[in-house]
Structures are given as C-alpha cells and as structure tokens.
C-alpha cells in the first residue's frame, strides 16, 4: 500500500485540494456552497490527478525516460517503476481505472448543473489522456498543466456550486493557471537531457534554460501583479491580497531559476516553487472566505 501511495506522487496531489478549495471559496463568497458538491468535486479531481500522474510514470518508463532522468524530490517521476517495485502493466491499468472512476462524478454534475460544464470536462480529459504521449511532444505540456490542473478545476469547482460562470470567477482562476504552468516549467529544468532524448518539446528545451528561466520569472511577477491589481479594482475582494504573502518564496524561486545550472540553488527553488503554488492558492481561498464572513 505504501508503494502504491508513493506511485500517486502524493506531494503533488495536495494541489487538487487547493484548487477545489479556491474554487469553492470563490463560490461561497458569491453566495453558493454545498459541502457534498465540494467533496464530490475533490474526489473527482483527485482521481483524475492520480490518473495523469500514474499514466505519466507508465509512458515515461515505456519510453525509457525513467532510466535516464535525474530524479529530485520535485521532478523526474516517482521512481517506482524504474526501481522494479511495481509492474508497468499494473500502473497503467491503475491510471486508467482512476480515470474511469472519475467519469460518473462528471456525468452526475453535468446532469445536475447543466451542459456548460462539458467543455471543462472535455478539455480536462484531453489533458489527462494526451499529456505525456502528445501534448508534451507538441510543446503544450505547460499549457495543459496550467489549464487542466490550474484554471479549469477552479472554474469547475465554482460551477458545480453556482451552476454558472462569472468574470469574477475567471479572474480568480487565472493565478492558478499561471502557478501550475510555472510549477511544471521549473520542474522540467533537471529533466532537460532525458526529455530531449525522448523527443519531448518542453519549453525548457524549445526556449533554452536561460529564456525559460526569464519566462518563469516574468509569469511569477505577473501573477502577483494580477492579484494586487484586481483586488484594488474590486473584482477580487481586498482580502485576496493575502495571496501576496508568498512573495518572499516567489523571489526565492526566481533566484533559484536564474541559477539553473547550480543544483545546490535549483533544488531549494523547486521546493519554494511548490510552496508558492500551494500557499498562494490557499491564502487566496482564505481571503475569499474572510470577505464572505465580513
């Protein structure tokens, strides 16, 4: 059981909790909340997230990347298959099973809340099933992560509560999209050589590490500016400024990204990057909850 648990990459599954928490908090701020819908959305996203993690491990092992990659606590897969702790067939089947188990939850919400949820589910499905085999080879892996694990889950969590989309919800979801895009972007730095051998076209390969580092920094800054600007403009509650509290961690991640060839500085940056992803979203959610109460 411990081996299967590690295969799911639990350190990243917390992201699913945060995006559902944020989407639900935004809905609560606008007067909608159901604990049942929140929990169902969370279970569905956890299943989908587990599916993409395990299928990624399966396809990376089959392509040989797992045997080439330089593994860190934040990148390079789980290492379970390359260590021979599980069989590739069992991991592939487990990934598909998790995906299939999420389908009834999606159908339930479509019936309950309406067909406007379908585009979110369809795009999410494509991001899961095509992520490793196609999207990362087409240079779309980072966008798929930003959409499929960042922006769309926040909007989906909001929609299952409210039954609609609003511009305010979209504005609240943009930081998650940027954060998850950047989470994958920085985590790709240690994998450049292995990914290139496998024919993947990550932004780090296409742009080069120096330009990819600059893009990472610009997006982090843009995310904080986005939160500040829309909070001051009144489209996000003023308490959403709590999200800016992770700025010191963001600066640490930016500095580490600029020293991409120094492992001693890059590894702490990867950790800071994950904390920025989790911390910013959780603080935004808390900001919406405080605003709703006040």
Report how far residue 13's alpha carbon sits from residue 131's, in angstroms, rounded to the nearest whole number. 17
pLDDT reported for residue 76: 67
Query: What residue ranges of the chain have pLDDT lower than 50?
Result: none
Q: Give 211-240 pLDDT, tens digit per residue.
A: 999 999 999 999 999 999 999 999 999 999
Residue 15 has which token pair? 């992201």
Whole-number pLDDT of residue 138: 87
Identify the pLDDT of residue 65. Answer: 75
Domain of 74 in residue numbering reads as 2-293
**φ and ψ at 59, to 5 degrees?**
-70, -35
List, for residues 134-189, the tens digit of each pLDDT value: 888 888 999 999 999 999 999 999 999 999 999 999 999 999 999 999 999 998 88
What is the distance between the alpha carbons of residues 143 and 150, in angstroms, rounded to a whole number? 10
Both tokens of 238, joined, read 């003023």
Residue 226 tokens read as 């986005």
CATH number at residue 35: 1.10.600
- Which pTM was predicted? 0.93
Domain count, the chain: 1
């Amino acid at each position: 059981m411990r081996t299967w648990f590690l295969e799911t990459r639990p350190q990243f599954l917390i992201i699913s909790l945060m995006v559902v928490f944020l989407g639900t908090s935004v809905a609560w701020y606008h007067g909608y909340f159901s604990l049942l819908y929140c929990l169902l959305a969370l279970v569905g996203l956890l299943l989908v997230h587990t599916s993409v993690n395990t299928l990624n491990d399966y396809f990376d092992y089959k392509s040989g990347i797992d045997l080439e990659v330089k593994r860190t606590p934040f990148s390079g897969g789980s290492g379970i298959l390359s260590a021979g702790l599980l069989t590739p067939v069992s991991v592939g089947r487990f990934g598909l099973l998790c995906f299939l188990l999420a389908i009834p939850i999606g159908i339930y919400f479509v019936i309950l809340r309406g067909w406007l949820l379908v585009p979110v589910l369809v795009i999410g499905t494509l991001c899961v099933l095509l992520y490793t085999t196609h999207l990362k080879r087409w240079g779309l892996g980072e966008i798929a992560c930003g959409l499929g694990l960042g922006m769309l889950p926040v909007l989906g969590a909001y929609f299952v509560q409210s039954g609609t989309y609003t511009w305010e919800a979209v504005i609240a979801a943009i930081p998650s999209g940027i954060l998850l895009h950047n989470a994958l972007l920085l985590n790709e730095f240690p994998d450049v050589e292995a990914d290139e051998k496998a024919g993947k076209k990550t932004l780090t390969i296409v742009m080069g590490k120096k330009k990819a580092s600059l893009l990472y920094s610009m997006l982090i800054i843009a995310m904080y500016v986005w939160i500040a600007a829309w909070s001051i403009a009144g489209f996000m509650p003023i308490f959403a400024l709590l999200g800016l509290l992770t700025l010191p961690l963001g600066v640490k991640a930016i500095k580490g990204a600029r020293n991409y060839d120094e492992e001693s500085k890059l590894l702490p940056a990867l950790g800071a990057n994950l904390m920025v992803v989790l911390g910013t979203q959780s603080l935004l959610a808390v900001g919406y909850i405080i605003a709703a109460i006040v």
